Amino acid sequence: MLAGQLYSAVDAELLEELGAVKDVIHRYNALPPSSAQERLSILKGLLGHVGDDEIIINQPFYCDYGKQIRVGKRFFANFNFTVLDEAPVTIGDDCFIGPNVSIYTACHSTDPVERNSRREWAEPVTIGNNVWIGGSVTILPGVRIGNNTTIGAGSVVTKDIADNCVAVGNPAKVIKHLEV
């Protein structure tokens, strides 16, 4: 799965791991917002890397495995952040994620017979430093978003977006280059 090769989405070992993570996520989402230290502790145990103690992920938060997610320093994600991390998801320092943002790494065949076999593959997502992802953005598998970039609310990111720009729309297109 992590090598980007076809794998069975109904593999017993994977399903067991997904179930265990769902229990952790349920505990996280059930904590009162005032339990910041306990929330941080859960995130540090769940995620593959946490840049510092200043990260915040508002509840509810959803992910598949957690351990494939790496977030940098001073990371902030708003409500309903969803990450399907069948492949690595790497997010840099000083990134801000709006509400209802989804990051997907899992890929499925467009051929219905192959899709129904439950075989899939995954492609990593990488987000640079100083990135702002607006509300209700969807980021598709295999995408890289450069440093100092803003993705406008409601966008669907289907391909790489360079450093130092603003991209919006469905599919997201660069509308402005920044002088940084």
Q: What is the pLDDT of residues 109-129, one digit of tens each?
A: 899 998 889 999 999 999 999
* Closest residue by Cα to residue 77 from 64, 94, 52: 94
For residue 30, the SS3 value is helix
Chain centroid to CA 16: 21
Burial of 104 (0-12, 13-18, 19+ CB in 10 A): buried
pLDDT digits (tens, 9 = 90+) for 127-172: 999 999 999 999 999 999 999 999 999 999 999 999 999 999 999 9
Question: What pTM does this model have?
Answer: 0.94
**What pLDDT was estimated at residue 4?**
86
| Catalytic residue positions, numbered | 108
Q: What domains does the chain contain, in order, with CATH numbers?
A: 7-177 (2.160.10.10)
